[in-house]
Chains A and B, each alone.
Chain A
Amino acid sequence: MDVVNQMQRQFVDYSTSLHREGILDDQFTQLQKLQDENSPDFVVEVASLFFEDCEKLINNMARALEQQGVDFKQVDASVHQLKGSSSSIGAVQVKNVCIAFRSFCEAQNREGCLRCLQQVTHEYSLLKNKLQTLFRLEQQILAAGGSIPVIE
């Protein structure tokens, strides 16, 4: 039982740190609240969806920005999608970058867009790592027979 308590404390600490660093916001907590015995892997599923989406969109954006004649509308659409997804999952950093990205798209600033794309990629990788660590912690707790603590 001590091991489980320790792991649970670790989980709570990690979660709180993610929130404090501004990587995740309240929306993520809402998602965690939606997870119950009817849909036990909801958060992981949504996260996987998000990662897939992200990668696809980032690739699209990268390809679009590589072109000679950049189709800013397309990039904007992708960014908009990304913004929507990230806000649904609560990835606030990504969302913020997307907001900036959109303004660059409107301004048709290629350099700015590329910079933002880089930033987005960076933020996304960071988020992915952090989330994967969090999910690993969850798995460990569940494997040891404990339950995931709810963070208010």
Chain B
Amino acid sequence: MECNCIEPQWPPDDLLMKYQYISDFFIALAYFSIPLELIYFVKKSSVFPYRWVLVQFGAFIVLCGATHLINLWTFTPHTRTVASVMTIAKVLTALVSCVTALMLVHIIPDLLSVKTRELFLKNKAAELDREMGLIRTQEETGRHVRMLTHEIRSTLDRHTILRTTLIELGRTLSLEECALWMPTRTGLELQLSYTLRQQNPVGYTVPIHHPVINQVFSTNHAVKISPNCPVARLRPAGKYLPGEVVAVRVPLLHLSNFHINDWPELSTKRYALMVLMLPSDSARQWHVHELELVEAVTDQVAVALSHAAILEESMRARNLLMEQNVALDLARREAETAIRARNDFLAVMNHEMRTPMHAIITLSSLLQETELTPEQRLMVETILKSSNLLATLINDVLDLSRLEDGSLQLDLGTFNIYTVFREVLKLIKPIASVKKLHVSLSLAPDLPEYAVGDEKRLMQTILNVVGNAVKFSKEGSITITAFVAKPETLRDSRAPEFLPVPSDNHFYLRVQVKDSGCGVSPQDIPNLFTKFAQNQSTATRNSGGSGLGLAISKRFVNLMEGHIWIESEGLGKGCTAIFIVKLGIPERVNEYKLPYMPKMPTNHGHTAFPGLKVLVMDENGVSRTVTKELLMHLGCDVTTVGSSDECLQLVSHEHKVVFMDINVPGTDSHRITSRIHEKFAKRNERPLIVTLIGNTDKLTKENCMRIGMDGLIVKPVSLDKMKSVLSDLLEHRVLFEGI
């Protein structure tokens, strides 16, 4: 019997079948959901290179899922379609799986390599990150250094530099404490000079020869030191561990360290010590870049300090120079004042001394002219001689002073050389004959007769030299020679610096004075021309003289661009004084043959009749004033009278002319004229009588001539008219103007 009842789907006998059924269901579910997930996530992500593979894989999975799904229907008896579908699905699945498997052979290595590359890139990225970090830090450091340098170098003040360094370093590195120890003057200790936190550090000192300090000084790197080191014990001990401490040396460069061609030698012994402390309760450590920063900053500080030192030096030098300048200026002004005072004194003394001297000499010579007894004459002569000597001395001293400060200038003029020598001879012969010395003069024939130079001073020089020769000779002879110096003879071995160059309008006069006197020893020769220095031998002590003569002569000779020297073979062998001076050659000699007497100028009103004593008589006040002024303008010495009586009273032989302004001729004028004639009998003693008259006619003129007048002038009288009238009158002793 077959029953037509519906059989239960699941045969109750196979539990295993039931589990397989469930598993297949879930497999199918999973197989369908995986592609969905894949699609979902791939869609979400943008980077997934193998989409084609995805499709394949998806297909593979879907078909696998389909297979498992269809498998569900195979648990129960199923129709043929299901079987065929199942078969198709399985076939397809097998196909796709194989294809996929084949594809995967290619794809998996790729995927693996992608993975490797990814790893590589990740490593690279990490490395770059590290390097980036490093560069950033370095750049940070560099920026800090630049900023610090800028801060430090923006000032040239030593203290500011150091303070700024500490402050900036403290800020940049977030230090707890930063301190600078400077070497003391002795160089044996380090003294705490600057700190960051404490304003005015008390002068702690640490001996310089500490092992730690030596270690730091021996290298130019920043060195980590122990916080217990004496230089690092700057902060009161805290509860926590003190932070790490680094110390670095700061070279103190001196100026001498900078050679132009070399790098600065860091072999200087002087270092300061900079100590930097990290905050004590942080776990910070000194990084390399921080240490490098510190080292770089230290170098900059060293340079900045040296710059500051240079600046200080130069400021000091400049101040010194300014002080010296001021002192020199003051000294110069004092010297000028002294010179001025001396010149004033000399000028005054010059005048004050010369005036009485002049009086004495003049009066003595006048006295000589009078009648004197022999004793009186002797006395007067002595007075005259002494005062002449004194006058010479005064002149010498004053001349020398003027010579010394270069204010003396030569009075150039044309003169006769022969005359000069003859004058000297004339002056010296009396004294020489008294001493029984024979004086001879020889002038070379080619010596020009006239020369241009300072005649007075040349004569003074010759006189001085010859005078010396006479003074220092007790017996024998004096020879004076003068000639034109030739170029060959101009070069003298004793005066190598004297190289005269003769030219067309100059010649060199050489004068030699040889005496047979006491001579000069060779070692005294240089002192001869020193003023006030005299040879102290017995012969000279009585000779008088101030010792200035040769000094003055030397100055004169130098002014005349020449040279003077003395040759002597020794004591007792006489000496020769030689000098060469430069004289000019005058252009036209014949003009100066006669002494030049200027003619009296006739057109210079003021001195036409200098000092001519005249008497003016005029009753009219106005016209008297006018006439007086007129005559005074011509230089006359005018006496005025207002009446004829006064005129007769005052008239004397001193008056050369009497001017009468007569209003009415004939009355008083007659009387005055005759009285004057009586008074002065001799014609050359009588003053000339001239009348001024307002108008004239022949009769008046004849009358005037008759009564004895010497001249007649018609008014008005102009200045020129009066001048010509007076000159005619004085020349001819009579003047009657034509009518």
Contacts and interface: CB of A to CB of B under 8 A. Distances in A.
A and B from one complex: yes
Interface of A: 26-27, 30-31, 33-34, 36, 38-39, 42, 45-46, 49-50, 53, 80-81, 83-85, 87-90
A87 B623 CA distance: 8
Contact of A46 (B622, B633, B719): B622
B629 A27 contact: no
B622 to A, nearest CB: 4
Given A34-B633, A39-B632, A45-B625, A84 B719 contact: no
Given A30-B716, A53-B620, 4 more contacts: A34-B719, A36-B633, A49-B622, A88-B620
B715 A30 contact: no
B626 interface: yes
Closest 4 CB pairs of A and B: A88-B623, A85-B622, A84-B620, A27-B716
Interface in B655-677: 661, 663-664
Contacts of A34: 626, 629-630, 633, 719
Contacts of A27: 716
Given A30-B719, A36-B633, A39-B632, A84 B694 contact: yes
A49 B626 CA distance: 11
B109 interface: no
B621 A33 contact: no
A31 B718 CA distance: 9
B622 A88 contact: yes
B629 A42 contact: yes
Nearest to B721: A30
A146 B661 CA distance: 37
Nearest to A47: B622
A81 B630 contact: no
21 contacts: A26-B716, A26-B718, A30-B716, A34-B629, A34-B630, A34-B633, A46-B622, A46-B625, A46-B629, A50-B622, A53-B620, A53-B622, A80-B663, A84-B620, A84-B661, A84-B663, A87-B623, A87-B694, A88-B622, A88-B715, A89-B622
A88 to B, nearest CB: 4
B660 to A, nearest CB: 13
B357 to A, nearest CB: 33
Interface string B423-438: 0000000000000000
Contact of A33 (B620, B661, B664, B719): B719
- With most chain B CB atoms within 10 A of its CB, the pick from A26, A36, A87 is A87
B528 to A, nearest CB: 55
A88 B626 contact: yes
Contacts of A39: 629, 632
Interface residues of B, number: 19
Contacts of A46: 622, 625-626, 629
Nearest to B623: A88
Interface in B699-718: 715-716, 718
A38 B629 CA distance: 10
Interface residues of chain A: helix, strand, loop or mixed (majority): helix
A83 B715 CA distance: 12
Contacts of A42: 629
A103 B510 CA distance: 88
A25 to B, nearest CB: 9
Contacts of A38: 632
- With most chain A CB atoms within 10 A of its CB, the pick from B620, B664, B716, B719 is B620
B88 to A, nearest CB: 139
Contacts of A89: 622, 626
Contacts of A85: 620-623
Contacts of B630: 34
A49 B629 CA distance: 14
A139 to B, nearest CB: 20
A101 B609 CA distance: 40
A91 to B, nearest CB: 10
Nearest to B661: A84
B474 to A, nearest CB: 62
A100 B623 CA distance: 21
Contact of A87 (B625, B716, B718): B716
- With most chain A CB atoms within 10 A of its CB, the pick from B621, B626, B663, B718 is B626
Nearest to A27: B716
B237 to A, nearest CB: 94
- With most chain A CB atoms within 10 A of its CB, the pick from B629, B633, B719 is B629
Contacts of B621: 49, 53, 85
A83 B168 CA distance: 113
Given A31-B626, A53-B621, A87 B715 contact: yes
- With most chain B CB atoms within 10 A of its CB, the pick from A30, A46, A53, A88 is A88
B635 to A, nearest CB: 11
A99 B677 CA distance: 35
B572 to A, nearest CB: 68
A88 B632 CA distance: 16
A89 B626 CA distance: 8
Nearest to B626: A88
A89 B624 CA distance: 11
Interface string B602-637: 000000000000000001111101100110110000
B661 to A, nearest CB: 8
B308 to A, nearest CB: 63
- With most chain B CB atoms within 10 A of its CB, the pick from A27, A34, A38, A39 is A34
A92 to B, nearest CB: 11
A16 to B, nearest CB: 19
A53 B626 CA distance: 14
Contacts of A80: 663-664
A143 B664 CA distance: 44
A30 B718 contact: yes
A46 B102 CA distance: 158
Interface string B401-419: 0000000000000000000
B669 to A, nearest CB: 15
B620 A81 contact: yes
A83 B623 CA distance: 11
A75 B613 CA distance: 36
A113 to B, nearest CB: 19
Given A30-B718, A33-B719, A36-B633, A84 B625 contact: no
A26 B716 CA distance: 9
